[in-house]
Amino acid sequence: MARPSPRAAGETAIPLRFGDDALLWASWLYHEEGMTQGDIAAEMGVSRASVNTYLAEARARGLVTIEIEPRQFRALSLAEALRKRFDLEDCLVVPTNGGERSLNARLGAAGAQALARYARPGDTLAVTWGRTILALVEALRVAPLGDVRVVQATGGTTAKIPWTPEACASRLAEALGGRCIPLSAPAIVSSAAMRDMLFAEPVLAEQMAVLSEANRILFGISSLRPESTIHTSGFLDGPERHDYEQVAIGSIAGRFISASGERVPGPLDGRTIGIDLAALRAVPQRIAVAGGSDKVPAILGALRGGFVSVLVTDTQTGWGILTADGWSEPPRRAAPSPPTSAPIGRTHTKKLLNDPRAAVDEALEGALAAHGDTIALVPGTPRAVRAVHGPRPGKVGVVIGGGSGHEPAFWGYVGPGLADAAVVGNLFAAPPPGPILAGTRAINGGAGVLYVFGNFSGDVMNFEMAAEELASDGIETRSVVTIDDIASAPAEAVGSRRGVAGNVFVFKIAGAAADRMMPLDACEAVTRRAAARTFSMGVALEPGTMPETRRPSFSLGPADMEIGVGVHGEPGVAREPLASADAVADLLVDRLFAEMRLEAGARIAVLVNSLGGTPAMELYVVHRRVAQRLAARRVEVVGAWVGPYYTSLDMAGVSLSFLHCDDELLDLLRHPCRSAAMTVVR
């Protein structure tokens, strides 16, 4: 017999992210996160009376004692799907949102529960380093274990960070009542010869021997984003960074892995002191504690490579991993058989193209033909355009760019009062250095050039390479990287976030500052401030389809929507049942409010952006609700843009961007401009 639901009569269904485990979710949010019953009711979309019933029933069933019983969380459908998909020994999934604690602290608390369950007297426990590992150590509460050895899995790193290998290992040993075995050497040494000499030293040889005896290893998984552990630890200083970032998507214990989980060789291999990937995979129990949507590719690579036997993560990351691996949630009940006469559904999308391989160049050619009064092709390259009127002597030049597929970005924001040039790459791919160099030289007015582009590794690398070459020519450049996508990384790793539709506001501010003849330092400062005060999030109803294959970039069910999608065809960080326009608007507004903490009287600019396949009617329905929510909070809307400003091919969906204005930003936002995609008249 099915268990009766404790929801009040007539109450709406709980959102999918809470599944059939409402008792566990309510218990976690109440006991672990310290949320009130009213806040939990709002988070879960139920009444306060239902929350009270959940908590009482959880206590009656013994789910809650001093802490939430970790074994019960393994029954979550998401955790079970991850466990089966990747043949894990165990999987623990905790809520991504809720309460004031950071995601790292939340994961650390969950990891501490998992470690407390598995750690035994006599263990030799290897441990890496990182924010989440240190948070785990700080949350660990266990009775002392006998004869436990805790050994560093790598040598030491820079002391500029608090989560060094030495700190994580020594504090974990103290928490377990065990003995700490350090590795008496740096993690990275100057040469392979130096590494061999150190390995020959008896002290280090003895410590490495203990490491080889580890029966458990506790580790985090790092992305390669700018604020990731692997960067802050000093591993990737210098030219080695480009050698790895071409192929690697993440790292474990300072070793780099590809999307398929294979070792990525590079110049640091012969200079690294610590456990290697083959030895890590051979450890009997391998406990990985990692989360955050920016880490989805890295965690998936670690799972595919067989480096994880116990995974501790959060819901959004878990869904992102499964979606990226092509997993589809099984139906809750068997669907009725379709009639035998039912027509065959379409498997491809119809496109108005000639040769798909020529689509980028032909689209740019069409843009130049349509908007010849504002843009012209930069001589010598088919992938860079410049403003017709320019360069202006003594004016800072503004160059923007990124991959194609986001039309009218980027050429649509070139013109008076906006960018001076735009460069585009292949579909969702960074422009190479050549067009960047040509575009920069074409608009250089002698006062320096400001680059504005999204936070994607290819764009960062190629714009940096162009800047290095231009410096030798005496052209000074500065770069502002946009980081507005709040779904792509948690608040504590804001520098790892992607740049999406909020780019439009940052382009506008940069162009206005340069048009007013502000010097390069001032243009950079105000543009950087605009980037820091711009926040975006998107929802997709249908994935985009690639021109060459005419197939969707990810799978999405007919009754589902994808939360937190990127603009390069990536799936989102969570999947929920298809909702009304008001519900989608509320979801986006609530996430942006939580991030920005807007007070009454704040001034914001609003962008309701089509991801490519959403018509104007639906966008204005969404904007209606956004305006209602902002008015209710007494936030002043100083400007609103509704339409396809920054797309992802033909993806059906919407993104919402807010720019939190101060006096200077508001003045620059209202500065006149004219381009194919944006015109502002004073």
pLDDT digits (tens, 9 = 90+) for 47-71: 788 888 788 777 777 766 544 544 4
On whether the CB atoms of residues 382 and 402 are closer than 8 A, the answer is no
Is the per-residue pLDDT at 28 higher than 90?
Answer: no
One domain, residues 49 and 124: no
Of 284, 320, 298, the closest CA to residue 130 belongs to 298
Tokens of 47: 């009444």
Is 371 marked active-site? no
Instruction: Kindly tell me the burial class for residue 642, based on how many C-beta atoms sit within 10 Å of its own C-beta (0-12, 13-18, 19 or more).
Output: middle
* In-domain check, residue 298: yes
Residue 74 has pLDDT above 90, yes or no: no
The whole-angstrom separation of Cα 195 and Cα 189 is: 6
User: What is the span of the domain harbouring residue 547?
Assistant: 534-680
Residue of higher predicted confidence among 487 and 243: 487
Tokens of 585: 């608007």
Contacts of 113 (CB under 8 A, 6+ apart): 67, 70, 92
Q: Return mean pLDDT, the chain.
A: 87
- Flag whether 423 is in a domain: yes
Amino acid at the residue 590? D
Per the CB < 8 A criterion, the answer to whether 550 and 349 are in contact is: yes
Could you tell me the CATH number of the domain that includes residue 261?
A: 3.40.50.1360
| Torsion sign, CA atoms 572, 574, 577, 580 | negative
Residue 36 has pLDDT above 90, yes or no: no
d(CA 377, CA 386): 6
Range in 239-243, 443-447, 613-617 with the lowest mean pLDDT: 239-243
Residue 329 covered by a domain? no
Strand partners, 680: 673
Query: pLDDT tens digit string along 433-461?
Result: 999 999 999 999 999 999 999 998 889 99
pLDDT band of 6, cuts 50, 70, 90: very low
Do 90 and 168 belong together in one domain?
yes
Pairing assessment for the beta strands 673-674 and 679-680 based on DSSP bridges = antiparallel
Same domain, 43 and 93: no
At residue 327, does pLDDT exceed 50? yes
* Three-state secondary structure call for residue 459: helix
pLDDT at 162: 84
Q: Classify residue 325 as exposed, middle or buried by CB count within 10 Å of its CB (0-12, 13-18, 19+).
A: middle
Q: Do 380 and 515 lie in a common domain?
A: yes
Please pick, among 31, 371, 389, 568, the residue that the annotation labels catalytic. 568
Residue 338 domain-assigned? no
Residue at a domain's end among 482, 517, 532: 532
Q: Are residues 580 and 487 in the same domain?
A: no
Distances (CA, A) of 112 to 134, 139, 467: 10, 6, 45
Q: How many Å apart are CA 484 and CA 531, to the nearest integer? A: 7
What does the block give as tokens for 212?
A: 């080889």
- State both tokens at 610: 């089509």
The pLDDT assigned to 363 comes to: 95
* Amino acid in the structure at residue 630: L
CA distances from 641 to 249, 608, 625, 665, 666 (A): 35, 6, 14, 16, 15
Task: Assess if residue 170 is contained within a domain.
Answer: yes
Task: Clarify whether residues 428 and 488 are in a common domain.
Answer: yes
The answer to whether residue 575 is domain-embedded is yes
Residue (of 377, 462, 460) closest to 421 by Cα position = 377
Residue 344 lies in a domain: no
What are the residues whose beta carbons fall under 8 Å from the beta carbon of 234, sequence distance 6 or more? 157, 158, 160, 188
What percent of the residues of the chain are helix, what percent strand, and what percent coil, each to the nearest 5? 40, 20, 40
pLDDT at 681 over 70: yes
The structure's pTM equals 0.65
Check: CB of residue 287 under 8 Å from CB of residue 114.
yes
Q: Percent of the chain at pLDDT above 70?
A: 88
- The tens digit of pLDDT for each residue in 340-366 reads 444 444 567 888 999 988 999 999 999
Q: Indicate whether 175 and 224 sit together in one domain.
A: yes
Spatial separation of the C-alpha atoms in residues 428 and 83, rounded to whole Å: 32
Q: Is the pLDDT of residue 17 over 70?
A: no
**Rounded distance, CA 489 to CA 217, Å?**
26
Q: Tell me: do 542 and 453 sit in the same domain.
A: no
Which of 324, 339, 369 lies at the terminal end of a domain, its last residue? 324
573 plus 673 within the same structural domain: yes
- What tokens were used for 520? 């390069």
**Residue 659: pLDDT over 60:** yes
More confident residue, 581 or 265: 581
CATH number of 500's domain: 3.40.50.10440
Q: What is the pLDDT of residues 388-432, one digit of tens each?
A: 988 999 999 999 999 999 999 999 999 999 999 999 999 999 999
Is residue 578 assigned to a domain?
Answer: yes
**SS3 for 3?**
coil
Residue 153 and residue 255 in contact, taking contact as beta carbons nearer than 8 Å: no
Low-confidence winner among 74-83, 125-134, 451-460, 641-650 (lowest mean pLDDT): 74-83
Q: How far is CA 542 from CA 522, 625, 651, in A?
A: 41, 22, 6
CATH number at residue 619: 3.30.1180.20
Same-domain status, 525 and 562: no
Which residue(s) pair with 180 in the sheet?
A: 150
**List of residues 6+ apart from 481 with CB closer than 8 A:** 453, 454, 455, 460, 499, 531
Residues 497 and 581 both lie in one domain: no
DSSP string, 298-318: HHHHHHHTT--SEEEEEHHHH
CATH of residue 49? 1.10.10
Distance between CA atoms of residues 158 and 516, nearest Å: 43
d(CA 22, CA 58): 10
Cis peptide leading into residue 6 (ω within 30°):
no
3-state secondary structure of 101: coil
Shared domain check, 167 and 83: yes
Contacts of residue 497, Cβ cutoff 8 Å, sequence gap at least 6: 294, 455, 483, 484, 485, 486, 488, 489
| Domain end among 266, 301, 324 | 324
When divided into structural domains, the chain yields a total of: 4
Question: DSSP assignment, residue 545?
Answer: B
Choosing from 31, 231, 389, 406, the catalytic residue is: 406
